[in-house]
Structure 1
Amino acid sequence: MQKVILSQKKLITLLSGLLIITGFFSRFVLENMAVFEISLIIASIIGIAPIAIQAYQALKVKVVSIDVLVTIAVAGAFLIQNFEESAIVTFLFLFGHFLEQRTLNQTRSAIKELTEMAPESALVQTDSGEFEEVDVDEVDEGDVLLVKTGAKVPVDGTVLKGEGYINEASITGESVPVTKTEESEVYAGTILENGTIQIRADRVGEETTFGKIIELVEEAQDSKSEAERFIDKFSKYYTPAVLVLSLVVWLISQNIELAITILVLGCPGALVIGVPVSNVSGIGNGARHGVLLKGSEVIHDFSRVDTIVFDKTGTLTVGNPSLARKEMYGEYAEEALNYLASVEKESDHPLAKAVLEEIKAPKLYPVSETEVVKGGGIVAQVDGHRVVVGNVALMDKEGIELSTKAKQDIKQAEKNGNSLVLTAVDGVLYVLMGIRDQVRQGVKQDLLKLKELGVKNLVVLSGDNQGTVDVVAEELGLTEAHGHMLPEDKSAYIEKLQTEGQIVAFVGDGVNDSPSLALADIGVAMGSGTDVAIETSDVVLMNSDFSRLPHALGLVKATVSNMVQNIVIAVGVVLVLLASVFFSDWMNMSIGMLVHEGSILVVIFNGMRLLKYRLHRTDTREQAVRVETT
């Protein structure tokens, strides 16, 4: 019976409202007091039923909820035959709850939109070579899928055949289509706007980037911040306190109507709901704009950050270095280039690609006894020769003497911001290559925006030489720059900043810098939806879009400010209502409930404003991107 009544709350609210209208129509138009009272009595009884059930369920678990206060108040009004008050209070409470649920559902629109974007079917290649439509849950890793124009990509995968333009807004927040060709990665939930492609399924189901984004946003919206936990605890004691206050007022004044009015006015509904709705809206906004905020605690901590530490390569720079300088020493330098290419061919270091692009059609040799020197380079045997490839520190460690010219070249290359790749064969230096990564377009403006948002210190830590790091720092106007930093050095430096009382965010690529991401107060990963980036950090900037960082910081600050506003509104309304009871003669139970429900809607709508939050800087950049692509 209880389930039936609770499932029909909307119908009960409608009937209650119609009965109240009927009653007042009978009184003021038909002048029939009997119909007036009967209508209000029935409205009170059916209206209090779901509220009383919820109050009973709360008391069973030893919680004095808002429903308990309203039930007692309505029962009291009914007993003193104030049917007008009892009917109106129950209707307003039920109608207010209906509006709350409807508007709260809108704050979860990000989850709803993401869920609707999830693909439901896929065209899978059968043994005969034909493509058959199946449910997306039936797709296995390694399957070959066909995606046609206008269709959603069903899984994370790699393009095997064809090309096209894909809208990746569901993953990156960026609506400008991205060109996909053979060997390109594609993500579930994105839309192929033009072309036809065949892809190999690499990750399926919940393991796809899209699936993990939905899971993360759901978990984040369901998480509770420190402020929410405090308010929950506060309400646990506040609500019984209101009950005691009304009892004391009744004992002193012998005015039961005054006592039950206090019960209604003291309900902390807006206070309880104000903070969660701000958090949910903030996290939903982030999901729409390519920023994953992993929980309410992240919002609180991120908003207080005063120092941001950056990794250089792939964060401040594009992560695609190219050759800027090359020096050759000795008559065997050309052969040394072949040895260098042989070693770099087996390396996955970012600088190796730039080296191989410079050495055209090299003669490759077998490489053996390879030793990777952490933070230094590689030592290996190539065609019977001991080849050392790396930085100056590795040359010193190997006891390789540098000529006066080589030292001058090294000094000049470092001064110009180049990362050095030195090659020595059998203890003699033959090749110096200076490689430089380009600063990301628009990063300087984004860093200025971070300063405007209250960040005092902008620090870069890099494994590159100090000259390279200094050039980048000077170009971008950073506060500090430190080179020759190993992963453990970066972690130690972050600990040092924290001991000095600074609230530190670390921004990295989510792979090499996972210790620093985990250690910092807030870890921000630049990641195109990579597993490591999502798992390691507190915040993920999808598609490695640096411009999302100021949006993320501005959003969390706006969210925290919104929480404070909602708390002030909720507490202020309760204080004004209670003061009105004691110091005015116009306040009654119906007016109090109307204002109370109105305050709940005010904090909900105030929180929902965050769904439309957007930094002006982000708008102008996206407009610029659209202009460039047209």
Structure 2
Amino acid sequence: MTIAIVAAAAIGEFFTALVITLFVLIAEVLEGLTVGRGRKAIRDLLEFLPREVSVRRTGAIKTVAAEELSVGDVILVSPGGRLPVDGVVVSGHSFTDESRITGESMPVEKTEGSRVYAGAINQSGALEIRAERIGRDTSYGRIIEAVERAERSRAPVQRMADRLAGYLVYFALGAAVLTWLITRDMRATISVIIVAGACGIAAGTPLAILGGIGRSARLGAIIKGGVHLETLGKVDTVVLDKTGTLTYGRPEIQSVSPVEGVSAEELLDAAATAEIRSEHPLGKAILSRVKAEGREVREPEHFGYTPGRGISARLGDATILVGNRAWMADNGIHMPPTRDLGACTEVVVARDGQLLGTIDIADTIRPEAKRAISALEAMGVRTVLLTGDNHQVATAVATELGLKNVEAELLPEDKLARLADMVKKGWTVAMVGDGVNDAPALAEASVGVAMGSGTDVAQESSDIVLLGNDLACFVDTMKVARRTRSIIWQNFVGTIGIDLLGIALAAFGLLGPLLAAFIHVASELTFILNSARLLPQARRKSLPSAGGVSAEGPADVAAAGRH
């Protein structure tokens, strides 16, 4: 454009030179505004935390700026307020909303000694918290840093855009030289230089990447770099773990089947007595159910555990057996015929040689999982379930969710081998998991996606972290990634097409310098604004809540999360 402005002035086209300068300045301002808006959407995440906090110092409560906090400070958080630090409750009793941090949908009770996270909302009573991590060191701060690092990173498509923009400039200069040699028409030569523009590619591509990362963050998915956003947009296969990903990862009682003459409460109470000293997840599910119903669990006088079989407990003169059918057969308990359990595990309970009944326990499937898998298949994405669970449970879960490709009883190294084989076949694979055992597969996949409630190892091994543990959020993020790629390629094709057409028309003398300048700037702005469509919408300010803190809408889910 500098060459075009100088050349226009050299042949006396001063008005054209001024118009080009004006259009270029306007384009620069609008580009700066759109890019600034994208970066502001990320910086706004920091505003979620309170700027002033109440601190107990020298026996008195003082209000200080959040920047003045130190590790070890005791902070008072009133009902309705946001927690400014990660720490431990030293006094008080309340419930906090940690849905933005850990993905826990229900309020979490906090008493003395409980751990709390920055960004959570205190719902009921006042809490005094000793700060352990502040500012950028908090769970919340780490999420912000992850988003900022992603914003600064460069995807391969951005490097390609820069190269293509350079080639377009060289092509335009070459075409201008050729036009001058053939026509000896200076106006046509200058028009060729003016009409060719690469800004739609050079500026539009990073803006689209920025918008995609920002919009994904608002959805609740932290993408650790532009390269991962680009790869996600090309994914054709999604590999899913079962426990903690498609299911909640915590067993719950699905049905209680007492024999005739025995009540459900009696069956559950007997099972709870035997399981109270057990650390088995199935036993914890039974205890949780009994306690939730408000009944007291009686402590057994004797407890014995046989691995792989079950428990023997004595309460008074009664002997209670809890375990599988093999355990009952070992103890001479007569059992009814086996039945189809689907995804459930059967727990059998007997007392003094008599069967009391059975309890079916299963890991609860996440309600959004079926919708997410249907949406992936509608997008033409292949879905595969790889799990370490047994074939019967894996098949039952897959059938309920509509998954056709299932492999069960896999060790972590088996999952890794399956992933490596898929990548070797040329598939672009996204792996979604949450546990330590998923970490190798997450690292091996084209793009690894960790559930927000998963282990730190899984999150560190992944390229994307889902803050709210919602698979529907992952599907929406895939759509954003695909839309980002689509917009970038629209800009590529559009810029090249307009440049070639404009250069041809200018070379034949059909475009004057002024019209060439208008076409250049108009196309540049069109493609920049095309990329700007990806930027997150501005937040709406809502009325302050009881604690003096403005309530945010669902669009701000990504403003917090555990990294």
TM-score, normalised with respect to structure 1? 0.70
Whether the 8 Å contact between 1:164 and 1:193 is mirrored in structure 2 is yes
The AA in structure 2 aligned to 1:238 is L
1:469 to 379, 391, 394: 394
Whether the 8 Å contact between 2:276 and 2:287 is mirrored in structure 1 is yes
Structure 2 match to 1:438: 364
> What SS class does the counterpart of residue 313 from structure 1 fall into?
coil
Whether the 8 Å contact between 1:166 and 1:194 is mirrored in structure 2 is no
Structure 2 match to 1:451: 377
Structure 2 match to 1:553: 478
1:111 is displaced (CA, Å) by: 0.8
User: Quick one: distance in 1 between partners of 2:333 and 2:440?
Assistant: 36
Change over 3 Å in CA distance of 1:351–1:132 after alignment to 2? farther
Whether the 8 Å contact between 1:173 and 1:290 is mirrored in structure 2 is no
Whether the 8 Å contact between 2:55 and 2:61 is mirrored in structure 1 is yes
Whether the 8 Å contact between 2:94 and 2:122 is mirrored in structure 1 is no
Change over 3 Å in CA distance of 1:152–1:337 after alignment to 2? closer
Structure 2 match to 1:296: 226
Structure 2 match to 1:181: 109
1:418 is displaced (CA, Å) by: 2.4
Residues 93-492 of structure 1 aligned to structure 2 (within 5 Å) = 93-126=24-57, 128=59, 130-141=60-71, 143-159=73-89, 161-164=92-95, 166=97, 179-182=107-110, 186-192=116-122, 196-323=126-253, 341-344=276-279, 350-351=281-282, 353-354=284-285, 356-357=287-288, 360-363=297-300, 403=330, 412=339, 415-419=341-345, 435-457=361-383, 459-492=384-417
1:605 is displaced (CA, Å) by: 1.7
1:96 is displaced (CA, Å) by: 1.5
> What SS class does the counterpart of residue 238 from structure 2 fall into?
strand
1:556 is displaced (CA, Å) by: 1.2
Deviation digits for residues 349-391 of structure 1 (CA, Å, limit 9, x no counterpart): 7546325547834348899xx99x9xx8999xxxxxxxxx999
User: Quick one: distance in 2 between partners of 1:497 and 1:410?
Assistant: 42
> What SS class does the counterpart of residue 84 from structure 2 fall into?
coil
Whether the 8 Å contact between 2:448 and 2:462 is mirrored in structure 1 is yes
User: Quick one: distance in 2 between partners of 1:75 and 1:317?
Assistant: 66
**More displaced stretch, 335-344 vs 558-567:** 335-344
1:581 is displaced (CA, Å) by: 0.5
Change over 3 Å in CA distance of 1:101–1:522 after alignment to 2? same
**More displaced stretch, 104-113 vs 549-558:** 104-113
Whether the 8 Å contact between 1:274 and 1:570 is mirrored in structure 2 is no
Change over 3 Å in CA distance of 1:164–1:358 after alignment to 2? closer
Change over 3 Å in CA distance of 1:139–1:524 after alignment to 2? same
User: Quick one: distance in 1 between partners of 2:124 and 2:103?
Assistant: 19
Whether the 8 Å contact between 1:462 and 1:484 is mirrored in structure 2 is yes
User: Quick one: distance in 1 between partners of 2:504 and 2:142?
Assistant: 50
Please tell me the root mean square deviation across aligned C-alpha atoms, in Å.
4.2
User: Quick one: distance in 2 between partners of 1:538 and 1:233?
Assistant: 26
1:290 is displaced (CA, Å) by: 0.9
Change over 3 Å in CA distance of 1:210–1:410 after alignment to 2? farther
Change over 3 Å in CA distance of 1:71–1:308 after alignment to 2? closer
Whether the 8 Å contact between 1:307 and 1:456 is mirrored in structure 2 is yes
1:81 is displaced (CA, Å) by: 2.2
Change over 3 Å in CA distance of 1:409–1:306 after alignment to 2? farther
Whether the 8 Å contact between 1:338 and 1:364 is mirrored in structure 2 is no
1:464 is displaced (CA, Å) by: 2.5
Whether the 8 Å contact between 2:38 and 2:536 is mirrored in structure 1 is no
The AA in structure 2 aligned to 1:576 is L
The AA in structure 1 aligned to 2:518 is L
2:450 to 508, 513, 525: 525
User: Quick one: distance in 2 between partners of 1:206 and 1:416?
Assistant: 47
Which segments of 5 or more consecutive residues in structure 2 lack a partner in the other structure? 259-268, 291-296, 312-321, 350-356, 538-553, 556-563
> What SS class does the counterpart of residue 154 from structure 1 fall into?
coil
Deviation digits for residues 548-573 of structure 1 (CA, Å, limit 9, x no counterpart): 12211211111111111121222222
Structure 1 match to 2:496: 571
> What SS class does the counterpart of residue 189 from structure 2 fall into?
helix
User: Quick one: distance in 2 between partners of 1:452 and 1:228?
Assistant: 29
The AA in structure 2 aligned to 1:455 is V
User: Quick one: distance in 2 between partners of 1:377 and 1:209?
Assistant: 42
The AA in structure 1 aligned to 2:213 is I
2:517 to 571, 593, 596: 593
Change over 3 Å in CA distance of 1:342–1:168 after alignment to 2? closer
Change over 3 Å in CA distance of 1:119–1:550 after alignment to 2? same
User: Quick one: distance in 2 between partners of 1:422 and 1:201?
Assistant: 48
Name which structure has the greater RCO, CA cutoff 8 Å, separation 6+. Answer: 2
Whether the 8 Å contact between 2:345 and 2:362 is mirrored in structure 1 is yes
Change over 3 Å in CA distance of 1:350–1:120 after alignment to 2? farther
Whether the 8 Å contact between 1:161 and 1:181 is mirrored in structure 2 is no
1:609 to 529, 533, 549: 533
Whether the 8 Å contact between 1:342 and 1:365 is mirrored in structure 2 is no
The answer to which structure has the higher helix fraction is 1
Whether the 8 Å contact between 2:452 and 2:469 is mirrored in structure 1 is yes
Whether the 8 Å contact between 2:348 and 2:358 is mirrored in structure 1 is yes
User: Quick one: distance in 2 between partners of 1:364 and 1:294?
Assistant: 54
Whether the 8 Å contact between 2:309 and 2:323 is mirrored in structure 1 is yes
Structure 2 match to 1:89: 20
**More displaced stretch, 182-191 vs 592-601:** 182-191
Task: Tell me how many residue pairs correspond in the alignment.
Answer: 511
The AA in structure 1 aligned to 2:461 is T
The AA in structure 2 aligned to 1:254 is R
Deviation digits for residues 179-230 of structure 1 (CA, Å, limit 9, x no counterpart): 3421576432345466533334343222222212211111212222222111
> What SS class does the counterpart of residue 243 from structure 2 fall into?
helix
> What SS class does the counterpart of residue 610 from structure 1 fall into?
coil
1:477 is displaced (CA, Å) by: 1.0
1:405 is displaced (CA, Å) by: 8.2
User: Quick one: distance in 1 between partners of 2:67 and 2:212?
Assistant: 31
> What SS class does the counterpart of residue 133 from structure 1 fall into?
strand
The AA in structure 1 aligned to 2:486 is S
User: Quick one: distance in 2 between partners of 1:146 and 1:480?
Assistant: 52
Whether the 8 Å contact between 2:188 and 2:508 is mirrored in structure 1 is no
Identity of paired residues, percent?
Answer: 34
1:542 is displaced (CA, Å) by: 0.9
1:535 is displaced (CA, Å) by: 2.1
User: Quick one: distance in 2 between partners of 1:407 and 1:569?
Assistant: 76
The AA in structure 1 aligned to 2:371 is Q
State which structure, 1 or 2, has the greater radius of gyration over its C-alpha atoms.
1
Change over 3 Å in CA distance of 1:496–1:248 after alignment to 2? closer
The AA in structure 1 aligned to 2:366 is R
TM-score, normalised with respect to structure 2? 0.78
